[in-house]
Amino acid sequence: MQTQFLISAGEQPKRLDLFLVNREPKLSRAAVQRMISAGWVRVNNQPTKPSQKIKPGDVVNLDSPKPAPLRRDGQLVPLDILFEDSACLVLNKPAGVVAHPGPGHWDDTLLNALLDHAVQAGAGSMPGLVHRLDKDTSGVMVVAKTRDAHRRLAVQFEHHSICRHYEALVSGLPSQAEGRIELPLGPDRGQFKRTSTDSHCPKASATEYRVEQSFGVLAAHLLLTPRTGRTHQIRAHLQAIGHPILGDSTYEGAAISPADGGAVSRVMLHAHTLGFAHPLTETYYEFKVAAPADFKTLYQELRLATSGETTEAEE
């Protein structure tokens, strides 16, 4: 399906992404920017970019391709299931796995694997993601298996009654052993893949942190608790205070491994704890998963590299 806009004589010049957000209110600015970058938007039948200024007489074409059908029998994605019943499923997501299908990842995602699992188990309902973890983020997730369970879990996330703790290895050492980062976040003005404080539509955001261990002034191991649920919130907040997550090139955290001088393999962020009220029984469940091997390896490398400077936070 294609939508065409003819820019009228009375239209004031403005950025293409802002123009489309005003005309297509169901689309977020981030979604519009992704569509432009994917080539689904053209100005005067030419490829374009989000920052291009549209002017009277321009013709903007917006393609809205049908989403690819969700496939089962996709590429193998291992499932480390921690808990499962008729209402929900809790799993430990490995790093490197995309949660939801999209351009470039139509059959190798977590949701494809969950669909395979549901079919093999003879389930009468299909799984639904209540929340997501970024591709490079590992850790615990909950998945709804019915519409009612999805609704009840989504309400908990919306009201921030879910217990969530993350751990990260970050560049440098925060000046305070613990604190609360309260900086509004939204889609970055210049880089559509980023969330930042430099946004046209920032929203209130809060992340609490505690230094669990320092590696001199080279790096630190943090425990983090997001109090809101913005896209890339933890990554953007840590970058904003000058301590980006190691391996996070999107947020200026492309650090060097102290062991061999090579680049850190991925974003060193792990969803350590998830607690919620069961969507049927309302019994509180809490799940904890240890960080994966690559996280632990880098942790040990940092300890060795800063031997004599390493300090643990007081209990």
Whole-number Å distance between alpha carbons of 302 and 141: 28
Per residue in 119-128, pLDDT (tens digit) is 777 666 678 8
DSSP 8-state class, residue 218: T
Q: Decide if 80 is catalytic.
A: no
Question: Which domains are present in the chain?
Answer: 2-63 (3.10.290.10), 67-159 (3.30.2350.10), 161-315 (3.30.2350.10)
Whole-number Å distance between alpha carbons of 167 and 243: 14
Per residue in 196-218, pLDDT (tens digit) is 999 888 899 999 999 999 999 99
List the catalytic residue out of 134, 136, 188, 248.
134
DSSP 8-state class, residue 256: B
pLDDT-derived band at 142 (thresholds 50, 70, 90) equals very high
What φ, ψ does residue 239 adopt, rounded to 5°? -65, -40
DSSP 8-state class, residue 246: T
Q: Are 69 and 114 within 8 A, CB to CB?
A: no
pLDDT-derived band at 95 (thresholds 50, 70, 90) equals very high
Per residue in 270-303, pLDDT (tens digit) is 999 999 999 999 999 999 999 999 999 999 999 9
